[in-house]
A and B are shown apart, each in its own frame.
Chain A
């Protein structure tokens, strides 16, 4: 098969040219990687989490390497939604980038107000609501680990936006299916998972935690099997599209998620190690489809063959 496979996927009303997105917090505001990657080739760029006002983040040290992964406790350092709309968004628009804005709030009202601003800005394709950050004292995980509050945030945001609404879920819960169903019923168009797993690391010489914040979010290939299992469970729990995230470094990794039923994937920590990781994943998926004579990616999604099927 020589023709280029059709890589396009649809997330609710949003058509993406391919399923490869970059994960929030690992790709800056896109421009940090513009010299390495043709951003317009990506399915979408998910930008750093935006709050209503700028946030300076946590004191250092903020990161520590762990086996096949890393812990971070950046604490949502960001320039604030208004600076993003005024300074960063026009540049992404000029490059023809499909922009997904990641949203963070300390209160339901803050989530709602940030989403309002982004919904009237030109060039935002979708919103990803972060109810899953483990590194801030208020908001974030507090909203995402309880089905009722996660649904409440989703419903309030739904009222103010017609954009495709993605809710990013935390793995730090007992049952991912319950949370996924709760936000689906509250009006989410899609769910993305997983955010980082809460973890910790100690310097035994000084007896101090490696992170100022004591705990942090674990990311990288170490979490991939956990992420894949949760995506597999979420796909079975909801009818809305599921976006797979968690330690995806190669096309093979991404294909696991797609076969498990993810409609799209996000490449995260791998961007830190190889600035061209997202494009390598994209090219590798196209190669796989050619090799297996699959004309359209949508024919691959959810084709997992479990024993007995």
Chain B
């Protein structure tokens, strides 16, 4: 097996600014040998130096830039619990230990001309990175149609940047405080005819309920879609087996590890029923 010691990184916080109430963008500078993340990959971030909180937090990459020998790893996170609250109090110049990039990211076909992004809540983070990654690398024109859903206007984050990278954007909120009132999958269903004609490939990340509805919409229409899943995990390396997700393999169902077998899976492979 390859040496992976360069995945354990001692970075320095470059910035950790609030982008909207309860949401922050974290930039960590890492010098020395490291790997460039693929969109959809994540890092296990040690929010504190000691053993409390004990576990590192999995955060998907929001961006990555390299200047000279230094890499700048970007994350977008919502302050939801004790771990992210402690992270939100960390300051510029402080050391931050993380392990990454980890997991299997999005598999972007080199010739893709039209892609659809479906983001729910914090799902905008990996999909924004994906959109930028595609824009920077596409040899010809690429049309990016983006659907963003949130509970309410206040929960929308990173919309400006994602909109700038997209060819068109549809925004929905459950309560109608921004964009169209309703769920994001309903907006997508209305556009399905147009999208399918262009041989679109979808990438999605969001709450489980959103992705389950996406499965009902896209799988019967045989539209390819990759989803990035989120699950509690302790190690991020496939050892703790904490982040199990039920998937179809052959004729049966089994558990895959979100951290190592994913976090990106084909939409049709995940068992959405139940839970």
Inter-subunit contact B51/A249 (CB<8 Å): yes
Neighbour of B238 across the interface among A28, A36, A58, A65, CB < 8 A:
A28
Binding-face segment, A181-189, A265-273, A282-290, A301-309 = A265-273
Inter-subunit contact B54/A273 (CB<8 Å): yes
Binding-face segment, B1-9, B61-69, B136-144, B173-181 = B1-9
Neighbour of B54 across the interface among A25, A33, A70, CB < 8 A:
A70
| Chain A residues within an 8 Å CB radius of B207 | none
Inter-subunit contact A57/B54 (CB<8 Å): no
CA distance A272 to B242 in the complex (A): 11
| Chain A residues within an 8 Å CB radius of B237 | 28, 32-33, 272, 275
Tell me if B234 is interfacial: C-beta within 8 Å of chain A.
yes
CA distance A28 to B246 in the complex (A): 19
- In the assembled complex, how far is the CB of residue B44 from the closest CB belonging to chain A, in whole angstroms? 9
| Chain A residues within an 8 Å CB radius of B54 | 65, 68-70, 220-221, 269, 273
Tell me if A158 is interfacial: C-beta within 8 Å of chain B.
no
Chain A, 252-309, CB within 8 A of any chain B CB:
269, 271-276
Chain B, 4-42, CB within 8 A of any chain A CB:
4-5, 7-8
Tell me if A90 is interfacial: C-beta within 8 Å of chain B.
no
CA distance A177 to B8 in the complex (A): 41
- In the assembled complex, how far is the CB of residue B28 from the closest CB belonging to chain A, in whole angstroms? 17
- In the assembled complex, how far is the CB of residue A79 from the closest CB belonging to chain B, in whole angstroms? 11
Chain B, 217-258, CB within 8 A of any chain A CB:
231-235, 237-246, 254-255
| Chain B residues within an 8 Å CB radius of A275 | 4, 8, 99, 235, 237
With A61-B232, A65-B55, A67-B52 known as contacts, the answer to whether A272 contacts B3 (CB < 8 A) is no
Nearest B residue to A276, CB-CB = B8
Tell me if A149 is interfacial: C-beta within 8 Å of chain B.
no
| Chain A residues within an 8 Å CB radius of B234 | 63, 70, 72, 269, 272-273
Inter-subunit contact A26/B1 (CB<8 Å): no
| Chain B residues within an 8 Å CB radius of A33 | 237, 239
CA distance A69 to B52 in the complex (A): 8
With A60-B245, A271-B235, A272-B234 known as contacts, the answer to whether A26 contacts B240 (CB < 8 A) is yes
With A68-B52, A221-B51 known as contacts, the answer to whether A62 contacts B5 (CB < 8 A) is no
| Chain B residues within an 8 Å CB radius of A25 | 240-241
- In the assembled complex, how far is the CB of residue B263 from the closest CB belonging to chain A, in whole angstroms? 14
Query: How many residues from A make CB contacts under 8 Å with B?
Result: 37
Tell me if A34 is interfacial: C-beta within 8 Å of chain B.
yes
Tell me if A56 is interfacial: C-beta within 8 Å of chain B.
yes
Tell me if B93 is interfacial: C-beta within 8 Å of chain A.
no
Inter-subunit contact B244/A77 (CB<8 Å): yes
| Chain A residues within an 8 Å CB radius of B246 | 59
CA distance A274 to B236 in the complex (A): 11
| Chain A residues within an 8 Å CB radius of B55 | 65, 70, 272-273
With A34-B1, A57-B241 known as contacts, the answer to whether A77 contacts B255 (CB < 8 A) is yes
Tell me if A20 is interfacial: C-beta within 8 Å of chain B.
no
Nearest A residue to B51, CB-CB = A221
Tell me if B46 is interfacial: C-beta within 8 Å of chain A.
yes
Tell me if A64 is interfacial: C-beta within 8 Å of chain B.
yes
Tell me if A27 is interfacial: C-beta within 8 Å of chain B.
yes
| Chain B residues within an 8 Å CB radius of A235 | none
CA distance A77 to B275 in the complex (A): 19
Tell me if B43 is interfacial: C-beta within 8 Å of chain A.
no
Nearest A residue to B5, CB-CB = A36
Starting from the known contacts A65-B53, A65-B54, A275-B8, 4 additional A-B residue pairs (CB-CB under 8 Å) come to: A26-B240, A60-B244, A272-B240, A275-B4
**What are 6 A-B residue pairs whose CB atoms fall within 8 Å in the complex?**
A31-B1, A35-B3, A60-B245, A63-B243, A272-B235, A275-B237
Chain B residues with a Cβ under 8 A of chain A: 1-5, 7-8, 46, 51-56, 83, 99, 231-235, 237-246, 254-255, 260, 275
